[in-house]
Amino acid sequence: MCMTADYLEISNGTLRARLLPQGAALNALWHSAVPRSLVLGWVDGAKGGYMGALVGPVANRIGGAAVTIDGTRWQIQPNEGVNCLHSGDQGIHTRIWKVTEHSKDSVTFALTLLHGDCGLPGRRVITARYALEHAALRLDICATTDRTTLVNIAHHPYWNLAGQGDVRGHHLLVHADSYLPVGPDKLPTGAQASVADLGLVARTSTPLIDAAALDHNLCLAPARSDALRPAARLTGPNSMQLSIATTEPGLQVYDGAGLRDTQNSANTGARTGPYAGIALEPQGWPDAPHHDGFPSIALRSGDNYRQTTLYTLELLQIP
């Protein structure tokens, strides 16, 4: 166990993770079989942005940066044209979370958002627990509120299982038949279409180099589940494989095409730049409050928001 003013580390022999209080972020994740981190990050910690952080309280995009909750209109900060991405510039990815537990193989963070914070109602108490379980990293996120609000939190690491190079050499398998098409503003149109339109084949491993540009929500299920279900499997050119299981109904897949090269930075994983990593983000469907057919992201007083994602890493044995 290692702790400094800037980051915390946990390990179990197979995996070692570095975590940051800012954004409750996963800054690095090492497997004993690979010398570099399997997620993008910087040696000196956070440099802003969403890399490795928890985003929310409402992840992804909200059209018009406004929602109506129980008859009252709530204005959120527009930070992507007239729309809102990841709850604005002061979302939970920017906050310094309190460390409430730290053991050899787990860390728990906590954050309180006051009524009106991030443009939404309710005093919201959020906890996030990272725990290493054999060759897996488990993330449990919980939230409560004292009045009806919206909660859709997403974990936003960028994966590169080789620890270097271009992720378009990876293969991706998704456990979804459909996705949400988007318009020029990247907001979902409300329709669903086959993942084949993205160059993916459901439940079949596909080379990322053959896929279309990816920044879309894949529809895993019509609602959040109490039980884990498979979401995706990513395989690197070095035979390292990541399997993701989650309780969430959606998986946002972003191929990292717009990642900027950060000069003069020491990286824990691949050097940051276009296609240096792929984001695979379990979450609710984007812009859900504006689409009656989407899974609800409303959270009411007395109810508990619970999200679990399991990231399992395995080095494949090649005959």
Name every residue whose Cβ is closer than 8 Å to that of residue 46 and which is 6 or more positions away in sequence: 20, 22, 23, 25, 27, 53
pLDDT number for residue 318: 64
Alpha carbon separation from 44 to 24, 37, 40 (Å, rounded): 15, 14, 12
Closest alpha carbon to 24 in 141, 136, 132 = 141
Supply 286's token pair.
Answer: 């984007």
**pLDDT single digits (tens) 139-151:** 999 999 999 999 9
What average pLDDT does this structure show over 12-18?
A: 97
Question: Does the pLDDT of residue 2 top 80, yes or no?
Answer: no
Question: Does the pLDDT of residue 282 top 80, yes or no?
Answer: yes
Question: Does the pLDDT of residue 23 top 90, yes or no?
Answer: yes
pLDDT number for residue 261: 85
What's the whole-model pTM score? 0.96
**pLDDT single digits (tens) 177-230:** 999 999 999 999 999 999 999 999 999 999 999 999 999 999 999 999 999 999
What average pLDDT does this structure show over 306-318?
A: 93
Alpha carbon separation from 77 to 106, 154, 226 (Å, rounded): 34, 18, 32
Question: Does the pLDDT of residue 4 top 50, yes or no?
Answer: no
Residue 87 near residue 75, CB atoms below 8 Å: no
Q: Which fold has domain 2-315?
A: Beta-galactosidase; Chain A, domain 5 (2.70.98)
Give the pLDDT band of residue 317 (cuts 50, 70, 90): confident
Question: Does the pLDDT of residue 319 top 60, yes or no?
Answer: no
Residue 61 near residue 43, CB atoms below 8 Å: no
Where do runs of H (alpha helix) occur along the chain?
none
Domain boundaries, the chain: 2-315
pLDDT number for residue 264: 65
Alpha carbon separation from 41 to 46, 51, 119, 173, 290 (Å, rounded): 8, 7, 29, 24, 34
Backbone angles phi, psi at 118, to 5 degrees: 60, 20
**pLDDT single digits (tens) 51-95:** 999 999 999 999 999 999 999 999 999 999 999 999 999 999 999
Closest alpha carbon to 234 in 259, 196, 206, 212 = 206
Q: What is the mean pLDDT of the chain?
A: 95
Please state the separation of Cα 144 from the chain's center in Å.
Answer: 20
